[in-house]
């Protein structure tokens, strides 16, 4: 934690991947077949679980290296530092969800149908990716300190708001949605309802003696959230 924060940028990681085939790089230490892109993806995958489970302070580079059959030196070579790896994990987590969102072709759907699909997707994705929720919660404990260092994450989230804004404005134009709603506020409401299903399901299950992991309960809760959002924006 006392290391300076030097998150590897995407260009740097690409350069590292290209040069890692050389015999004098850390890749030669492990005896693995030189496949830098696959190695980096493996490191990010394991590091995601490690940071999600233990947070930045609790995660151990030694354990990530052991689980990926690499070395601390190789991880630092690719990502610069423990904090650099953490930032890269955050970037990859946001890249995945935003990539799927932008590939949903919501512009081809009627506004209400598009909104329903987006909200349902958000609920399902958060539910299926609890590590993403834990990473976001962990970063909030750091007051967004490391997320703020990534231009990529900030750039990735602009299309997400633009996508929702486009759906909403089409609905207003067609008279099916009421005007005066801030797309960022709407995005926050969708996220809040979706995240709570993951972040609080264990405590809610224990307090109210209700199985929130039951498939029927999951589907009913998702449908309820979709309906709440749609009714909120309807004209």
CA distance linking residue 60 with residue 47, whole number of Å: 9
- The CA angle 181-93-160, to the nearest 5 degrees, is 25
pTM: 0.81
Q: Among residues 160, 100, 108, which one has the least CA distance to residue 125? A: 100
| Range list of β-strands (E), the chain | none
CA distance linking residue 148 with residue 142, whole number of Å: 11
Query: Residue for token digits 């940028």?
Result: 9
Residue 16: per-residue pLDDT = 47
Tokens of 84: 């650099």
- SS3 assignment, position 177: strand
CA distance linking residue 129 with residue 202, whole number of Å: 15
Q: Among residues 90, 101, 98, 96, which one has the least CA distance to residue 150? A: 90
CA distance linking residue 15 with residue 12, whole number of Å: 5
List beta partners, residue 177: 234
Burial class (CB in 10 A: 0-12, 13-18, 19+), 91: buried
CA distance linking residue 88 with residue 44, whole number of Å: 7
Q: Per-residue pLDDT for the chain (235 aa), expressed as one digit of tens each?
A: 444 444 455 444 544 444 444 434 554 454 455 788 899 999 999 999 999 999 999 999 999 999 999 999 999 999 999 999 999 999 999 999 988 988 888 999 999 999 999 999 999 999 999 999 999 999 999 999 998 988 888 888 888 899 999 999 999 999 999 999 999 999 999 999 999 988 888 898 899 888 888 899 899 999 999 999 999 999 9
């Amino acid at each position: 934690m006392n290391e300076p924060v030097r998150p590897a940028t995407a260009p740097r990681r690409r350069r590292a991947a290209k040069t890692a085939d050389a015999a004098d790089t850390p890749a030669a230490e492990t005896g693995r077949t030189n496949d830098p892109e696959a190695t980096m993806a493996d490191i990010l995958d394991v590091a995601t679980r490690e940071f999600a489970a233990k947070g930045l302070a609790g995660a151990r580079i030694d354990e990530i290296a052991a689980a990926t059959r690499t070395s601390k030196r190789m991880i630092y070579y690719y990502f610069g530092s423990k904090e650099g790896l953490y930032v890269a994990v955050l970037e990859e987590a946001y890249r995945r969800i935003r990539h799927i969102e932008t590939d949903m072709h919501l512009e081809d759907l009627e506004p209400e149908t598009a909104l329903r699909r987006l909200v349902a997707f958000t609920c399902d994705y958060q539910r299926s990716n609890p590590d993403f929720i834990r990473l976001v919660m962990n970063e909030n404990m750091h007051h967004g300190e490391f997320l703020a260092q990534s231009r990529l994450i900030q750039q990735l989230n602009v299309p997400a708001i633009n996508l929702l804004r486009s759906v909403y404005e089409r609905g207003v134009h067609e008279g099916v949605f009421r005007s005066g709603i801030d797309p960022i506020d709407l995005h926050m409401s969708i996220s809040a309802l979706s995240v709570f299903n993951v972040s609080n399901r264990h405590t809610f299950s224990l307090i109210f003696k209700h199985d929130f992991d039951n498939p029927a309960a999951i589907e009913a809760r998702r449908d309820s959230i979709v309906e709440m959002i749609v009714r909120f924006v309807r004209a």
